[in-house]
Amino acid sequence: MASLLEELNQQCPEELGRELHSFAASLYPICRSITGDGIRQTLEAIAQRIPLRISAVPSGTKVFDWTVPKEWNIRDAYIRDRHGNRVVDFQCSNLHVVNYSTPVHATLSLDELRPHLFTLPGHPDWIPYRTSYYKEDWGFCLSHNQLLQLEDGEYEVCIDSTLEDGVLNYGECFLPGCSQDEVLISCHACHPSLANDNLSGLSVAVFLARHLLAQDYLRYSYRFLFIPGTIGAITWLAQNREAAAQIRHGLVMTCIGDAGGFHYKKSRRGNAEIDRAVSCVLRDCGEPFETLEFSPYGYDERQYCSPGFNLPVGCLMRSVWGTFPEYHTSADNLDFLQPESLVRSLRVCAATFDVLEGDRKYINRHPCCEPQLGRRGLYRSTGGEAIPEEIHARLWVLNLSDGDHSLLDIAERSGLPFFRIREAASALSDAGLLADDQKSD
């Protein structure tokens, strides 16, 4: 069976990069939030590409210690000066309005308006992203230079929004495999025009799901979740406890399209198979990377790894949230998203799934001294040359296939890429030198 990564590598990387980027670009203008039309439109766009079940949970529903909030929608918003000019205009950028702002229509002096204005003096051309989900309030975000240009005087402020009972939506793409054991991929889909933080994860996840859909055989079942951050994960966990119990490996995916190196934040367990699989793939991916220990802040791994669930779910990122200046600003835009970074992130995910799909234990059927590989065409033909990597891999697999070590164990200990170890196991099995360890299936 060809690996998921090998199949992906057969596609033209430039074309794949363009497709990943253009899907993110198509979602970029939508004013998303944790509820409302924006996230619904986003889920509908995803549903055009992969099978997606969209759930709707009514406002007021209790989910653990939280309550599903009212639904927020917005049509327009502006600050108008006394000449009638829109000096801040939601139609130019949806970041201009504090997400979840209550409706307002008033005339205010600049001093009265100031407490409702947010800027980034350190990056005077950028618009910050602010939210007020759980406290009813309103506000505008603007560049610091825009603020400096505002003269004293009266301003008409209008936020044409609604905050009413409605629903919270999330989308699920479930791909059944041979086993009911599941791999979870979770992405937040609640940020408005922010590219890396939000859309990069969505785009890579959609392409991964399509790639898995094209497979004839999957060992695991896969569940892709597209959800509003925090409240979406809490709602899903509250309403899907049986499905949650099936999760054997999981990844939260976000901030995965910028030019930075990879960061993998381990699950709360710290040594789950997903933690080891991602670490092994990153070790061999040829890009800079860092693994981070678990912490109870960040993205939705906080919920999946809360002690009542303690699921083996890590978080795969490139630049870490909060550490890059563009984070939560208008500079996290489509130019910040690199097509080649998206492609390489997709490859790392495919290689990680290859590890999960292919990891198993074998038993060496000739454990007393090395079996003679040359006679079976599994060794170099002339002595004296350097031993190639595939022969190293065969020797490692034979040596450690004692029923105690899985292929991932062998990849870790040998320092050889997992795909090499898997290839070696397959060649040795074909030659009758390895038997499946029944216990490991």
Q: What's the closest the beta carbon of residue 134 comes to Zn ion, in angstroms?
A: 16
The percent of the chain in helix, strand and coil, each rounded to the nearest 5, is 35, 25, 40
Residue nearest to Zn ion (CB): 197
Whether 189 contacts 202, CB under 8 Å: yes
CA dihedral 75, 81, 87, 92 (to 10 degrees): 20
SS3 (DSSP) at 241: helix
C-alpha 126/C-alpha 332 separation (Å) is 10
**Least distance (Å) from Zn ion to the CB of residue 139?**
17
Query: Which DSSP string corresponds to 339-365?
Result: HHHHHHHHHHHHHHHHHHHH--EEEES
CB of 38 to Zn ion, least distance (A): 15
CA distance 340 to 13: 7
Nearer to Zn ion, 175 or 256 (CB): 256
Task: For Zn ion, give the closer residue by CB, 126 or 353.
Answer: 126
Q: How far is the CB of 179 from Zn ion (least distance, A)?
A: 33
Spatial distance between the Cα atoms of 132 and 2, rounded to a whole number of angstroms: 48
Judged by beta carbon, residue 230 or residue 338, the one nearer Zn ion is: 230
Q: In the stretch 42-61, what mask flags binding to Zn ion with x, by CB under 5 A?
A: --------------------
Residue 202 CB, nearest distance to Zn ion (Å)?
Answer: 13
Rounded Cα distance between 300 and 190, Å, is 12
- With respect to Zn ion, which residue has the nearer C-beta, 197 or 359? 197
C-alpha radius of gyration, the chain, whole number: 25
The contact pattern for Zn ion, residues 175-204, with x = CB under 5 A and - = no contact, is: ----------------------x-------
What is the DSSP track for 141-192?
Answer: E--HHHHHTPPSSEEEEEEEEEEES-EEEEEEEEE--SSS-EEEEEEE---S
Does 326 sit near Zn ion (CB under 5 A)? no
185 versus 398: smaller Cβ distance to Zn ion: 185
Kindly tell me which of 228 and 314 has the beta carbon lying closer to Zn ion: 228
Q: How far is CA 356 from the centre of its chain?
A: 17
Of 328 and 361, nearer to Zn ion (C-beta) is 328
Size of the site for Zn ion (CB under 5 A): 1
Shortest distance (Å) from residue 227 CB to Zn ion? 13
CB 325 to Zn ion: min, Å: 14
User: Between residues 248 and 318, which has the closer beta carbon with respect to Zn ion?
Assistant: 318
Nearest distance from C-beta of residue 177 to Zn ion, angstroms? 31
User: How many CA atoms, within 13 angstroms, populate the side-chain half-sphere of residue 146?
Assistant: 22
Question: Binding mask 262-301 vs Zn ion (x if CB under 5 A, - otherwise)?
Answer: ----------------------------------------
| C-beta of 3 vs 186, nearer to Zn ion | 186
CA separation for the pair 254, 149 (Å, rounded): 36
Q: How far is the CB of 263 from Zn ion (least distance, A)?
A: 15
For Zn ion, the closer of residues 5 and 251 by Cβ is 251
> What is the maximal distance between C-alpha atoms in the chain?
91
* Least spacing, CB of residue 302 vs Zn ion, in Å: 13
Q: What are residue 99's DSSP bridge partners?
A: 131
Interaction pattern, residues 355-394, with Zn ion; x per rule: CB under 5 A: ----------------------------------------
List b or e across 390-421, with b for residues whose CB sees 16 or more CB atoms inside 10 angstroms: eebbbbbbbebbeeebbbbbbbbebebbbbbb
- Which chain residues interact with Zn ion by CB under 5 A? 197
